[in-house]
Chain A
C-alpha cells in the first residue's frame, strides 16, 4: 500500500498543529539575532527589572535581558533536537539495518547488546557522566545519542527484516540485483518513514534530557539554555520574577516538546493502518 506520509501529516490535525508550532520555534531560533534587542550574555542592566518597554520580560539576577535569552535559547534547544535526532537515527539505522541484512552471529550479538543497553536508565547515566564533564552542546548531543539509540535500532531492524522479505525485493533479485542496489533502491526508501519517526522521537527525547539536565544545573554555564534559565529562575522563587522569568521559559520549552510530540503522534497514526481507520471513522 502506497502512503504519502507528508500528505498524511498535513491531513492530520495534530500534525498540522505540531508542524506550525515547530515552524514558529524554528523561526525564532533563526531570527533571534534580529529579534533580540540586547546581547543575551550582556549583564549590563539593572537586575530584577520587571517587564517594561525596554525589557519586555525584565532582567535576571545579573542584569541580562530575559527576552533576548529566551529567543537565543530556542537555537540551543533546536540544535540539541536536530543533533540528537540525526545522530541517534544514524546510529539506529546503521546498527539496526546492518543487523537485519547481515544476520547470523552479528545480528545476535548486536541484539543482546541492545537488550543490555536498554535496561540502563539513560538519564541517570548522563547525569553521572555530565556531572564530571559539564558538557557543552556537542558533547551532550553525543552523550544522549550513544545512550538512546537502542529503541530506534530495534525498530529499524524489524522493519528491514520485513522489507527484505518483500516480493518487490525478491523480484529485484530475480533481475540480478546485488545487495547494494537493493539497499539503495528498495530498503532505504522504504525505511524513510520509520526513520523520520525515529528522528522525531529521539529529537523529543534529546530536548527533554537536555532541559532536564540544565534544570538540575548540570550544564555549561555559558550556554543559553531554557533548562538552565529555569534552573536559575527557580532560585528566586520568593521574588515576583518567576512570572516573567520562569513561566515564559517553561512555556517555550513546552511548545517545542509538544510540537515534536504532535508530529510524532501524527506520523504514528499515518503508519499504523488500524489507527488510520479509527481516525477516519472519528472524523466522519
Chain B
C-alpha cells in the first residue's frame, strides 16, 4: 500500500532522514520508535507532503509517487486517503472553534458533504471516539488532554482514510487515559481495516498497536522486525538501550541509560559514538540494513555480539562433577546472573573461565573465538572480582600497589601514567584518590572500601568481560547498593558484559538481563530475568524465589533435603522436589526450550 524507497530528507545541509526503505501492506500496522529528534515526525510529515525540507527518493502510495506529485493532487490524497494525528495535543486544535466544528472542517474542506451533513458525521465520529455528547460544543481549552486526543483522532478519521499516521498519540496522557486511547485505536482500526503508521517513543503503545516495529536512530533505521520479537529480544545495541531506559512492569533490571547524545553523521554508523561495541569500521562506513535471523539489523557487527559462550563446559574433581556440561551465552553489555546455592559450582565456573582451573571438557569462546591458552591479552579483556577482597589483595600491598598491580603485570604505560590511571580509577569507583588513602593497607580499609579496591583492580585494565563472584555478599545493604549501582553505571558507559555470580535472586533480578539457575553443577533453568522471576518453571527456581528476601513477615516453607533415594543419577533436585517421580531419580532431565526459557525438568 505504501512503500518508501531510499527516502532522504534534508533541512538545508542536514540530513534528517536517509536510506529509509519501508513497505506497509493494507491492514498492517508499523511502529517507528526512537528517541525524540531522531526523525520520526519528519518521516510522518514527508508522507503527507507537509515536510519543509527537501525530499529525495520515492514514496509510493498505491503506486503513485507522492514526492513527485503536485500540491493539488497531494491534497486529494491528504486527509482523504492518508490522515495524520498530530503530536502536541495543545496546539493542534484551533482554540477559536468548537470541537464539533473542527472535526467537520476536513469534510467540508474536501467537499465531501455540506455543512449539515458534515456536522452530523462529526457528531458520529466524536461519539465513536467516546467523547461525551455534552463536550461537542466545548472549545479546546475546556477539554482535558485525553479528550483533545480523542478529538484529534476523530478529525483524522473524518474523511475515512486508508492510512493513518499517529504521531505520539499517547505521550503526555496519564496511564488510564492512555489505555483508553489505545483501546479506542484498536477498535477503530479493526473496524475500518486501517493501516497504521505509529510514530512513538512509547514502547507500550508500540507493542499494543503494531505488528512490526522499526527502530529509527539519527535518521536511519537500525533494526526492523516483528514487534514482539524486537521487544523480547532486541538485537541492535540501540534497541536494547531504548528498552533499558523504558520503565515497564515486564522488565526487572534497574533502568539504564544510553551514554552520550544523539548526533547525525553522514558517514559511519550513526550510533557508533554511543555504542559500546563499536569498532574502527563503524566510524568509517554506514552499515546496511541486513537480515539476521528473520529481522533486519543495520550493524557492522551483526547486532549485539555474544561476548562469552560456554559450550558443554565440564569440570570434575576426581569423581565429583563440579560443573556438568553447562551451556551459557553472555552478550556484550549484558549481565548474566548465575544463581544457586553454595557448592553448586558457580565459583568453579568462574575459575574455569579465568583459567584458574582447567576444564575437563567443553569450550569457552570469547567474542566468538575459542580460548586455548590464556595470555596477557586475554586477561586484559577478561577480569574477575573475587569473592573476598581482603584475601584477593595481598596484605603487603598498599591501595596504590594493589590497584597498580594489573598495570605493572601488563607492563602498560610508564610510571607516571600508571599513577594517574590509578587515581582516575579510584575516583571512578568512588574512593578517595588522596595520598593518605593510597598508602593504606587492606587491613586498614572497611569491607566496602576493600571491595571497591578489588573492583578498581578489575577495571583498571578496561576489560570487556567482568566476572563478579559474589562481589557484594560480604557487604551491608547500603554499600551493596552503591557497589551494584557503580557496576551498572560502568556497564552503561563501557558496555561491560557481566557474569554476576550470586545466591541472591532478589539482587539478580535488579541487575541482570538473564538469569541462569545452577544446581549441583547443572544449569536447571535459564532465561531472561523477567521471565524467570515471573514464571519460574523449575521447582528449584520456584523454591529459590520463595526464599528470596521480601519485606513480608511470613516465612516461606522451603523443602528440606530428604535423602530418599540414591543421588547422582537423576535430576539434581529430585531429593528435595515434592513432585519428584520415579523417572526423576533415574534420568537426568535435559535442558529444553520453552519460549525464551530453557528448563531441565520433566514437569515443565
- A contact residues vs B (CB 8 Å cutoff): 1-2, 166-168, 170-177, 181, 185-186, 189-190
Contact = CB atoms under 8 A, between A and B. Distances in A.
A174 B375 contact: no
Interface stretch (B162-170, B378-386, B477-485): B378-386
Contact of A173 (B356, B380, B393, B443): B356
B379 A175 contact: yes
Contact of A174 (B379, B396, B443): B379
Interface residues of B, number: 30
B443 A177 contact: no
Nearest to B401: A185
Given A2-B441, A175-B461, A166 B391 contact: yes
**Secondary structure class of chain A's binding surface, majority of residues:** helix
Contact of A171 (B378, B380, B395, B457): B457
B380 A176 contact: yes
Nearest to B384: A174
B391 A175 contact: no
Nearest to A189: B396
Given A1-B443, A172-B409, 13 more contacts: A2-B396, A2-B441, A167-B392, A168-B394, A170-B351, A172-B405, A173-B355, A174-B356, A174-B379, A174-B383, A175-B409, A185-B405, A186-B394
Contacts of B388: 167
Contacts of B443: 1-2
B386 A170 contact: yes
A175 B395 contact: no
A2 B391 CA distance: 11
A168 to B, nearest CB: 4
Interface in B278-325: none
B406 A168 contact: no
Given A167-B386, A190-B396, A175 B356 contact: no
17 contacts: A2-B395, A167-B392, A168-B391, A168-B392, A168-B393, A170-B351, A170-B356, A171-B386, A171-B393, A171-B457, A174-B355, A174-B356, A175-B406, A175-B457, A176-B376, A177-B409, A190-B394
B572 interface: no
A176 B410 contact: yes
Contacts of B441: 2
Contacts of A186: 394
A32 B409 CA distance: 49
B486 interface: no
A167 to B, nearest CB: 4
A173 B355 CA distance: 9
Q: Which of A1, A170, A175 has the most CB of B within 10 A?
A: A175
A154 to B, nearest CB: 24
B442 interface: yes
A176 B409 contact: yes
A171 B392 CA distance: 6
B395 A176 contact: no
A158 to B, nearest CB: 19
A183 to B, nearest CB: 13
A2 B441 CA distance: 9
B405 A175 contact: yes
B490 interface: no
Nearest to A163: B394
Contacts of A190: 394, 396
Contacts of A185: 394, 405
Contacts of A172: 394, 405, 409
B354 interface: yes
A185 B394 CA distance: 10
Interface string B350-374: 0100111000000000000000001
Contacts of A177: 409
Contacts of B393: 168, 171
